[in-house]
Each structure stands twice: as C-alpha cells, then as structure tokens.
Amino acid sequence: MPSEEADSLEKQLAARDEILQVMYWLHGEGLAREVSAADLTRWVSIDAMKIHLLLVGLAESKLVEAVPSDGTDHVHFRLTDAGLKEGGHRFTDEFAELTKPGHYECGDPNCECRRTGNPADCIHQH
C-alpha cells in the first residue's frame, strides 16, 4: 500500500475514533444524544461533508444509526448500544492519563474512604 493511501486510511480511522469519542462524551454529559455532521464540526476539525461520510460508514458498521428527521435539512445520528460501548472504550483509552487517580488518591470506588470522605480511612494507603 503506498504511503499516501496508508496515511489517508490512518487519518480516516483516527477521525472515526474521534467522532465516536465526541458522541460518547456528548451522550454521557447529557448534552446531545443525537447529532448532525454540522453539530460535530464544533468538536472535530473536519468539514461537515467528511464527517457525514464518516457517520454513514459508522452506520454501516452498526456503531451509529440515523434518526428520523426532525424537520431540518440535517440528518441526525445517535450511537447504538455497540457504539456506546466502543465509544466508551476509545474515550477511556484516549483520556486514561487524565482520569486516573492522582498521587495518594484512591481509585477504588468501594473503599471505605469513599464512603466516609476521610483519606485516613483508605485501606490501600496503609
């Protein structure tokens, strides 16, 4: 495969990942469950036509689905269950360094320190 084609494919895969991550984030934050390509241009630095084509490809992969029209000229898409799962994995991988516990911060949601709010109660720090 010539390097231009490989570079283009790599950029396309990266853009698909970014779209899934943004849609997952928007969904998780309750900001938008359905988006158009034009909506995504705010967060993805690609023009709306390319985003739309990527969304169509994601729909063919069953990661997103088209939503019935709301009267606008824009087609809206939402994540499928598989898309939510995949988007969550990609989001977690991308932001793992930012979401891990800080130094001396407990990452165990079932630890006693989470219940009491007192770091001295942490079973992992002793």
Classified as helix, coil or strand, 52 is: helix
Query: Domains of the chain: which residue ranges?
Result: 3-94, 102-126
Q: pLDDT of the chain along its 126 residues, tens only?
A: 567 766 788 888 999 999 999 999 999 999 999 999 999 999 999 999 999 999 999 999 999 999 987 676 789 999 999 999 999 988 888 877 765 555 567 777 788 887 787 878 887 775
Give the whole-angstrom CA distance, residue 68 versus residue 64. 13
pLDDT of 27: 95
**pTM (predicted TM-score):** 0.71
3-94 in CATH: which number? Answer: 1.10.10.10
Name residues whose C-beta falls within 8 Å of residue 44's C-beta, 6 or more positions apart in sequence: 15, 18, 19, 22, 51
pLDDT of 106: 76
pLDDT of 46: 93
Burial of 116 (0-12, 13-18, 19+ CB in 10 A): exposed
Name residues whose C-beta falls within 8 Å of residue 87's C-beta, 6 or more positions apart in sequence: 20, 21, 23, 24, 27, 63, 79
Give the whole-angstrom CA distance, residue 123 versus residue 103. 15
